[in-house]
Structure 1
Amino acid sequence: MVERALADGDLTAAHAAVADLSVELLVDVLERLNKTDRAVLYRLLPKDQAMEVFEQLDPSLQSALVGGLQDDQVASIFADLEPDDRVELLDELPATVAAKLMRGLPYDERELTAAILGYRQGALGRRMSPEFVSLRLDMPVDRALAIVRSRLHDAETVYTLPVVDRNRILVGVVGLRELMGAPTDSVVGDIMNEPYFARATDDAEEAARRCAELKLLALIVVDSETRLVGILTVDDALGILESAESEDQARIGGTEPLRQPYLATPVGQLVRSRVVWLLVLAVGATLTVQVLEVFESTLEQAVTLALFVPLLIGTGGNTGNQAATTVTRALALDDVSPRDIGRVVVRESRVGLSLGVLLGTVAFVLASLVYDASVGAVIGLTLLTVCTLAATVGGVMPLAAKAIRADPAVFSNPFITTFVDATGLVVYFLIAKAVLGI
């Protein structure tokens, strides 16, 4: 209904169609519109509602929307964003637009934003909020409560309160519940607890995972000298993990991750996200063709062998992908690390061997019944070998990627499939020549 109204140029009908929608539904509607219609509909929203909607959009969509709005509206929206959200948007904008928006910020907001921009991409400091409430070690509880009340509307959170000394060194943390329940004549140092914290230079994904695992409302962020510089709230941590999970799943599937919702992504961008991987895999698949050429005479002497090629390379690829996916997930959860490569090799080789025995036995029986025992032996032994090899390689590749600081997902399914296809055929034909004597 909204799309039809916008296509007809009926702005009154378009406004009426979204007038009673919640922020969440408005975000869903905007994500489904093209760039021009999105900007038109956004201008129809009341100012307060428009700001809430803008904050809920992905940074890439925010960037696209900025291009369709007037300069004064963009400047107002940009100034109202939280510093960490502002930095995410700046990363998506052209440098000239980003510089112009930064110049239009009030001095204090520009300083907060610049502090976050000073950290490298992917660092925790790039995703933290510098708007927090900190308390002094020797501060009376009643004074601390007064400070918290005065910051209720501009602080990122007041439920987790870092405690610092005179040099802003982090010494503890106190929760709002403990602060409110403490005697008013006591000091903050009497009720504070040992703090959980991370360095601003730490990897943002690892810090976010730690925040989630510890079930913290906020993770305190410090610099190299343990001075308080910011906080990472649990909602921001979950956003980082969701983004990382989407990226891993995309690369495991052989595509580049989309930086905005599917329906809002231009077709050209969808093509670019997939074509590079398809070209890489196509080049890799030439190895399979070359293997078939090398063993062409073997195929001519036993044409039946060609019938089982899809089964063998498919099973090998699936086995390797299963192992790679399992180990990649274990890496993300810190269950394993590159130093565990020996243990992973042993475990995955045992798993692959067990799978090979089961699948090879079934294949031997069926192939023997349909053809003969010699063909069954070739298929059974090949599955045994290929499953063991594929599981081992599939388990090792993500660890090797992590060791060289590459994305484990990139080294997973697409490359494993190509590798196992080629080596699986070599194993297949070598076993066939040995068993069948050809």
Structure 2
Amino acid sequence: MTIHTEQLDQLIDRIPQQLESRELAPITAELTELSSPDLVVVFEHLSVQHRAMAHRLLPKDRALEVFEALDPALQSDLLTALQAPEVAQLFAELDPDDRMWLLDEVPAALAARLLSGLPAEERALTAGLLGYPQDSVGRRMTPEMVSTHVGTTVAATMQRVRDRLADAETIYTIPVLDHGRKVVGVISLRDLLGATDDTLVEHLMQAPHTAEATLDAEHAARLCVDLRLLAMPIVDSENRLVGMLTIDDAARIVEIEENEDSARQGGVEPLNRPYLSTPVFTIVRSRVVWLLVLALGAALTVQVLSAFEATIEQVTALALFVPLLIGTGGNTGNQAATTVTRALALGDVRPRDLARVLGKEVRTGAMLGLLLGCMGFGITAVFFSPDIGVVIGLTLLAVCTVAASVGGVMPLAARAIKVDPAVFSNPFITTFVDATGLIIYFLIARTVLQL
């Protein structure tokens, strides 16, 4: 049953009190009636202890369903709070690729215990995924899939699908292999259902889109999403099938990466868990590093102002425009960085396109600066003097050009040196442009005003 947001909020407020007072019967009835998405929302708002207590009140099947839907960080917290038998059972019921998300969150000692408690077959499947690099698609693929072979009929392939219905994670896209397990094509379940039993699959298969298991998970996921594939075969270096990346896992990877980019562009590290379930210390840790970096950058800006103190004393009106100029420069750089970072993520540009991106951003920044500079000149000339208007107009032109150029180039430089482009985005660029913008401003003022 799905309930309204207001009713859900009331339930979330009531559950901790009922759990503390051991009113278990009424709360069990209410939790059991909720839909799984609503239960996930409830669990995200509970403390670790209350989450564990509520989880124990659910029927076994519902408990597993809700556990699978939780963020890996919350799954880790829940495993820590539950008793050993419950932990082993929940972990064993997960699909191998879902186990990898969880193993990346839990402490190493707990991960070893979880793996040792798995049945031999499941432990072998999970250990195979652990052998791939940390951020590779090999750790996000599922080894539980259905495949068929060249020369196999539709009837035989459909029987293979039926035999694997209970344990295969995806059956809608089926890789077609040659005798060396190399992927030579894919066939959809729709095409199988629409063909006669004696048709050979090689007559129905399409050219495959594959990704190597060591490829970066984000790159493979975006390829899967952009091509609108229900599942993509994952292969080894010799094009042999090792797993499948399903569309739900691909979308999950893309969402996580976009959340990380968004957080870092705002000057914080990603929380990787719901806000209300995040400890205060974790939030502080995610913000303090960037605050220190920005404080150092602000100190650099102060040094620039100090160096041009004599210039400001001669024409005090110059100080009035400092916030306008550094704010405009920072915003221009941030816009360019956000655009290029997004283009990098989508594969629209690559580090080798640096010269083309720089040329485009120089022109873009110059056009923006010309528009803003003309406006700034007109307004400043009326309220102050034509000379001040010329200084402001030229500064806006120069600052916008420099800011757009730096903002466009830095994400590409970051990718070239294997650093997250989002790290070089808004906070860093704002600090850089503040200092350089002030230097440009006062040098233009000295020249035009002959100070």
User: TM-score over 0.5 for the alignment?
Assistant: yes
Which one-letter code corresponds to 2:375 in the other structure? V
Partner of 1:246: 259
Aligned partners of 2:32 and 2:59 also within 8 Å: no
- Residues 1:173 and 2:177 are matched in the alignment: no
After TM superposition, give the deviation of residue 263 of structure 1 in Å.
1.0
Is 2:210 the counterpart of 1:219?
no
* Distance (Å, rounded) in 2 between the aligned partners of 1:111 and 1:199: 21
Partners in 2 of 1:358 and 1:187 — Cα distance?
65
* Cα separation, 2, equivalents of 1:185 and 1:40: 55
Q: How far did 1:7 drift? A: 4.1
Contact residue 148 and residue 175 of structure 2 kept, 8 A: yes
Aligned with 1:342 (options 331, 337, 355): 355
Residue 5 of structure 1 is matched in structure 2 by 18
What amino acid maps onto 2:94 in structure 1?
A: L
- The separation in 1 between residues aligned to 2:311 and 2:207, in whole angstroms, is 70
Shift of 1:12: 2.7
With the length of structure 2 as denominator, give the TM-score of the two structures. 0.95
The total of aligned residue pairs comes to: 438
| Equivalent residue runs for 1:15-164 within 5 Å | 15-164=28-177
Look up the SS of the partner of 1:183 in the other structure. coil
Tell me the percent identity: 60
- SS where residue 230 of structure 1 aligns? strand
Match in the other structure for 2:387: 374
Q: Secondary structure, in 3 states, of the residue corresponding to 1:67?
A: helix
Aligned alpha-carbon RMSD (Å):
1.1
Asked if structure 2 preserves the Cα contact closer than 8 Å seen for 1:2 and 1:17, the reply is no
Please give the alpha-carbon distance, in whole angstroms, between the structure 2 residues aligned to 1:19 and 1:147: 37
Q: Distance in 2 between matches of 1:181 and 1:35?
A: 50
Code of the residue aligned with 1:243 in structure 2: it is I
1:193 alignment counterpart: 206
Please say if residues 344 and 395 of structure 1, whose CA atoms lie closer than 8 Å, have aligned partners that are also in contact.
Answer: yes
Deviation, 1:6, is 2.7
Q: Kindly indicate whether the alpha-carbon contact (under 8 Å) linking 1:320 and 1:392 is maintained by their aligned counterparts in 2.
A: yes
Shift of 1:11: 2.5
Give the conservation status (yes or no) of the 8 Å contact 1:172–1:192: yes
User: In 2, distance between residues paired with 1:143 and 1:396?
Assistant: 55
Secondary structure of the corresponding residue to residue 409 of structure 1: helix
- C-alpha distance 363-13 of structure 1, shift in aligned 2 (>3 A): same
SS of residue in 2 equivalent to 1:77: helix
Q: Secondary structure at the match of 1:131?
A: coil
Bigger mean CA offset, 274-283 vs 169-178: 169-178
- Partner-residue secondary structure (3-state), 2:176: strand
Three-state SS of the structure 1 residue aligned to 2:242 is strand
Amino acid at match of 1:360: G
Which residue pairs with 2:10 in the alignment? none
Question: Matches of 2:17 and 2:380 in 1, distance apart?
Answer: 60
* Aligned match for 1:406, one of 389, 408, 419: 419
Q: Distance in 1 between matches of 2:172 and 2:395?
A: 60
Moved more, 94-103 or 77-86: 94-103
Residues 398 and 409, structure 1, Cα contact 8 Å, conserved in 2: yes
DSSP 3-state at the match of 2:184: strand
Please give the alpha-carbon distance, in whole angstroms, between the structure 2 residues aligned to 1:373 and 1:6. Answer: 72
